[in-house]
Amino acid sequence: MRGGGQKRSGPKWDYVNQIVRDGALSMIALQETHLTEERLEELQALYKRIKIFNSPDAEAPSRRGGVALVLNTSKVKWRGAECTTLQPGRAIQVRIEWGEDTYLTVAAVYAPSGDDDKNRQFWEDLREQWSSGAIEKPDVVLGDLNMVECALDRMPAHTDNEGVITSFDLVMKACKLADGWRMANPDKVDYTFATKHTNSLNSRSRIDRIYVKEEWLDKCDEWHIEETGIRTDHKMVSVHLTTKDVPFVGRGRSTIPSLITDYKAFRDFLLTKGRVLDEKLIALSENPERRTTGFNPQTVWKAFKTELKEAAKEFMRNRATDLERE
C-alpha cells in the first residue's frame, strides 16, 4: 500500500474496500500498511464489510512495514478466524473455515528488501517456526517476497542471491507449496513490480506471488496479474481457489428461450409435434406389448425434446438472419 495508516491515506482503504466488494474477493493481502492499533480500530468501525487482521512493525508501526490479511465478511466465515503473528510487521497467518468441513490457513508475508542477509534470515525463521510443529503449516503463502526464483522473473534478467533462493526453496519444500501462476504459465513473462527511477534504467520483477499447497493446485483457476487502481507500484496477483468438497458442475441444462412462443409459426409446430407425442404415449399405454427398449415412453419423450430443441435453434437462427436482412 506504500502507507495506509495515516488518515490522509483514507482513499486507499476506500479502494481496498471497493476491490474486495466489486471483485467478490474472499480475502486480500496487503503490505506496508503502517497501521497503529488506534487507526486499525477506526478503519474497522468505518468498513463493516471487511475484517482486517494486521501485524504492525514493532518499532515504528505508523512509518514502516506492516502486513495484513483482509477478509470479505460476506464471503468467508470470519467470526471463527484465528490469527497468528509470525514476524511482527512481516508475516501474519490466518486460519478460517473453508467450506463445510475444511480449514484454510493463509500466510501473508512482506519479506525484507535490499538486504540479502535479512531476506535469507526471514525465510529461515519461517521454516523453523513451521517445522517446529507449534504453528500450523500454511496451505497458501502470498505477498511481496522481494526475491524471485529464476531469472525469467526479472527484467533485465538475472539470478537472485543463491543463499536467499536456497532458504526460500527449503521453506516451500517443507510446506509442500508451489508457485501456482508459474505452473499455469510455464513460459509466460509478466511482472508485478516496476521501479520508477528518473535518472537510471528501470527494472521489473515478479516478486509478488501466491504459493499454494501442491495437492490443492487442481482446485485453483483464473490466475491473474492486474492493476488495482490503488496508488502503488505493485500489481495484484489473484487466484480462484475452490474448496475440496465442491461438486462437479457440468455444462448445464439446455433450454429454449421463452420468447420463441411469441411466434405463431413455432407455436403451430409445437402443437403439431405435441399431438403426435400424445398419440404415441396413448398408444403405448393401450398396447403395452408394443413397448421395447428402443420404443417406450422414455425414449419417445427424449426424442420429442431433442427434436424440439433443434427446431428451436434453427428457427431462431433463421429469425436472426431475417432481421439482419431487414
More confident residue, 7 or 220: 220
Confidence of residue 250 (pLDDT cuts 50, 70, 90): low
Structure confidence by residue, pLDDT tens digits, 87-113: 999 999 999 998 778 899 999 999 999
32 labeled part of a ligand binding site = yes
Residue 6 has pLDDT above 60, yes or no: no
Q: Find the catalytic residue in 153, 160, 191, 234.
A: 234
Active site residue 234: yes
pLDDT at 326: 53
Q: Is 234 annotated as a binding-site member?
A: yes
Residue range 51-62: mean pLDDT, rounded: 92
The pLDDT value given to residue 98: 87
144 is in an annotated binding site: yes
Which range has the top average pLDDT, 93-97, 100-104, 198-202, 319-323?
93-97
Is 110 considered catalytic here?
yes
Would the pLDDT of 206 be above 80?
Answer: yes
Rounded to whole angstroms, how far apart are CA atoms 26 and 50?
Answer: 10
- Considering the candidates 57, 139, 144, 160, report the single residue annotated as catalytic: 144
| Residue 201 pLDDT class (50, 70, 90 cuts) | confident
User: Residue 30's beta-bridge partner residues?
Assistant: 68
The pLDDT score that the predictor gives to residue 247 is 55
Determine the average pLDDT of the residues in 242-266. 73
Per-residue confidence (pLDDT) for residue 27, from 0 to 100: 94
146 is in an annotated binding site: yes
Q: What integer is the mean pLDDT of 161-189?
A: 95
> Distance (Å, rounded) from C-alpha 114 to C-alpha 215?
33
Is residue 232 very low, low, confident or very high in pLDDT (cuts 50, 70, 90)?
confident
The CATH number of 7-241 is 3.60.10.10
pLDDT tens, residue by residue, 134-172: 999 999 999 999 999 999 999 999 999 999 999 999 999
pLDDT of residue 273: 92
Highest mean pLDDT among 97-101, 175-179, 267-271: 175-179
Classify strands 103-110 and 140-144 as parallel, antiparallel or unpaired: parallel
Residue among 34, 47, 57, 110 flagged as catalytic:
110
Of the pLDDT bands very low, low, confident and very high (cuts 50, 70, 90), residue 321 is low
The domain ranges of the chain are 7-241, 258-325
Mean residue pLDDT of the chain comes to 89
Whether residue 144 lies in the annotated active site: yes
Determine whether the annotation assigns residue 233 to a binding site. yes
CA-based nearest residue to 72, from 47, 91, 90:
47
pLDDT at 299: 93
